[in-house]
Homo-oligomer: A and B are copies of this chain.
Amino acid sequence: MEEKKVALRELLVKHPADIAEVLSNLSDEKAAELLHHLYLRRAAAEPLGEMEPEDSADLITELDRDEATKILARMDPDDAVDLLEELPDDLQQDILSHLNRTQSQILTKLLAYPPDTAGGLMSPEVVALPLTMSAQEAIDYLRRKTEEAETIYYAYVVDDAGKLEGVISLRDLVLARPETQLSALMQRDAVSVPVNADAEDVARLFDKYNYYALPVVDADRKLLGIITIDDVIDVIRDETTEDIYRSHGVPLEERVDTPWYVSVRGRLPWLYFNLLTAFLAASVVGAFESTIAKYAVLAFFMPIIAGQGGNAGMQTVTIVTRGIALGEVPKGEGWRLLSKELVLGLLDGVAMGLVVGAVGMLWKHTMTLGLVVFLAMTFNMITAGIVGTVIPLSLRACRLDPALGGSIFLTTFTDTLGFAFLFLLARAFLPGL
């Protein structure tokens, strides 16, 4: 008991992010016990806000409703909403109904914004100052608000209706003469984000212009909240994880510590879908069974030609997909990309084809076999270049995520066509077929 108290005291002086890490690494039961002790010392809200929402939601369900409600009331509203979103509907409603009216209203409003929009990212705790305030009054006001606001490095100036009129940095406030009116100090053409803007577009905006914070407004330019750069880092990190996962058919919510019975349900559908496409490619092989029975050596070249097409195509898919994600492929640039990848496919194809052709010729002492595998390889590499460019561009044109299963569509093409090229050329050129 005494030992536990010491451990708790040591934990309490740590950064909330470190306490969050400790909580994440404990079993659910032990984490809930620790969270209860943190709660008793009013130190539970901040670490919960630092955890992944799925994990913090798991934890909060372990506490009794009264405790859970009190902890949520003390969390930053943007973190609280992320957590609430992960809770079962009935528990979510139950907690909301036990919060005080203002808090419940704020959170209900935030819950209405989809998580992948500016509204889902923003904090409502933004400092809005009236146009007629003086610099000194603004500083005094900030002094009082400092606990509540998400950031006071930027304050926004609004008119009587709450419409965003300008932005002013704490820096400018401090450097100004105290009696100057905000309307004279503020920067008028404040960049703002519409509340329904896509979260990834917001992230790109921060990345490009190096903003630290941006105000969020509704259609009438009414100030609704603020997005800070640390929220955006999470978006960039999660977005990339999702892109990588999608392209390899990994369920988006899987992490290393996901239990196997959850993983298997997530991974199997993709494997079954892959199996279907594998049967498609294999059916080409099946159609040429008699060819293979006569020239079993063709089976040797099958995986080489199909595999190299897949590898070269994935290089193309990767470059194009990443280029789109980084905003480096303007619409209409598709043809330029395609012609580049065509040239590359031809060159790489000849380079690979010469090697496998030579192996075919020297190993079996037939010029024709060498020619067949040379041509099959070259054709398949050109196919890979075309398909590898067209897939991500088409997905974008259909407003789908270009990273979505690029590899599976690609290898279906490179396998099916690779086998077809090989066997058709064999049938055309090899004697006795």
Report B-chain residues with C-beta under 8 Å of the C-beta of A256: 319-320, 323, 328-329, 333, 337
Residue among A209, A233, A307 with max Cβ neighbours from chain B (10 Å): A307
| A282 adjacent to chain B (CB < 8 Å) | yes
Binary interface profile of A, 329-371, with partner B (CB < 8 Å = 1, else 0)? 1100100010010011001100110011001000000000000
Q: Which has the most chain B C-beta neighbours within 10 Å: A152, A299, A343?
A: A299
Interface residues on A, range: 35 or more
Please choose the segment from A180-188, A194-202, A268-276 that sits at the chain B interface, where 4 or more of its residues have CB less than 8 A away: A268-276
CA distance A250 to B319 in the complex (A): 8
Which residues of chain A in 363-384 are interfacial with respect to chain B, using CB atoms and an 8 Å cutoff? none
Are B292 and A299 interface neighbours, CB within 8 A? yes
A8 close to chain B: CB less than 8 A: no
Q: Which residue of B lies closest to A139 (CB)?
A: B174
Contacts of A330 in B (CB 8 A): 25
Q: How far is the CA of A254 from the CA of B15 in the complex (A)?
A: 40
Given contacts A233-B206, A248-B318, A355-B275, whether A411 and B290 have CB atoms under 8 Å apart is: no
Stretch at the interface among A111-119, A126-134, A257-265: A257-265
Instruction: Report how far A170 CA is from B103 CA in the complex, Å.
Output: 30
Interface residues of A in 269-321 (CB under 8 A from B): 270-272, 274-275, 278-279, 281-283, 285-286, 289-290, 292-293, 296-304, 306-308, 311-312, 314-315, 317-320
- On A, residues with C-beta under 8 Å from B are 15, 17, 25, 139, 142-143, 146, 152-153, 170-171, 173-175, 206-210, 212, 229-230, 232-234, 236-237, 240-241, 243-245, 248-250, 254-257, 259-260, 263-264, 267-268, 270-272, 274-275, 278-279, 281-283, 285-286, 289-290, 292-293, 296-304, 306-308, 311-312, 314-315, 317-320, 322-323, 326, 328-330, 333, 337, 340, 343-344, 347-348, 351-352, 355-356, 359, 407-408, 411, 415, 419
21 residue pairs A–B, Cβ–Cβ below 8 Å: A17-B208, A17-B210, A152-B171, A212-B212, A233-B236, A243-B244, A248-B314, A249-B314, A249-B315, A250-B319, A264-B347, A268-B348, A270-B311, A272-B355, A275-B352, A279-B304, A281-B307, A282-B301, A292-B296, A299-B302, A314-B407
